[in-house]
């Protein structure tokens, strides 16, 4: 939480590592398979850490004009199916995470 105009404001972590905007940068993803591989590997590692007692959150930045292309959308589908295959991964929107956090850890 940070104070903004006298009120407590919840800030959720965000990372560019798993952001689809890297499709358009020269040092970004070479193909949808690269994006899917990086994200699924990250999910696997974070699940291992969580099951060992240190749960984590992974944010994936998505932009309809980028991930919405059919080839790229197939990578996103692969990522989602992979995450769901673990059985104990929560796929949530930022608002869902914020509401959960505020409920469990009030300001």
8 A C-beta contact, residue 58 and residue 52: no
Who has greater pLDDT, 44 or 106?
44
With cut-offs at 50, 70 and 90, classify the pLDDT of residue 104.
Answer: very high
pTM over 0.95? The answer is no
Q: What is the pLDDT of residues 43-69, one digit of tens each?
A: 999 999 999 999 989 999 999 999 999
Please check whether residue 22 is in contact with residue 28, taking contact to mean a CB–CB distance below 8 angstroms: yes
Instruction: Find the mean pLDDT for residues 39-46.
Output: 97
| DSSP conformation letters of 54-65 | ----------HH
Of the chain, the end-to-end C-alpha distance in Å amounts to 7
**pLDDT average, residue stretch 9-35:** 87
Summarised one tens digit per residue, pLDDT across range 65-75 is: 999 999 999 99
């Amino acid at each position: 939480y940070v104070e903004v105009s006298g009120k407590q404001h919840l800030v959720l972590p965000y990372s560019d590592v798993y952001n689809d905007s890297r499709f358009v940068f020269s040092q970004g993803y070479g193909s949808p398979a690269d994006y899917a591989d990086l994200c699924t590997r990250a999910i696997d590692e974070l699940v291992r850490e969580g099951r060992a007692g240190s749960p984590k959150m992974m944010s994936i930045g998505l932009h309809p004009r980028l991930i919405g292309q059919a080839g790229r959308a197939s990578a996103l589908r692969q990522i989602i199916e992979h995450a769901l295959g673990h059985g104990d991964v929560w796929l949530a929107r930022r608002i869902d995470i914020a509401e959960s956090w505020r409920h469990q850890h009030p300001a």
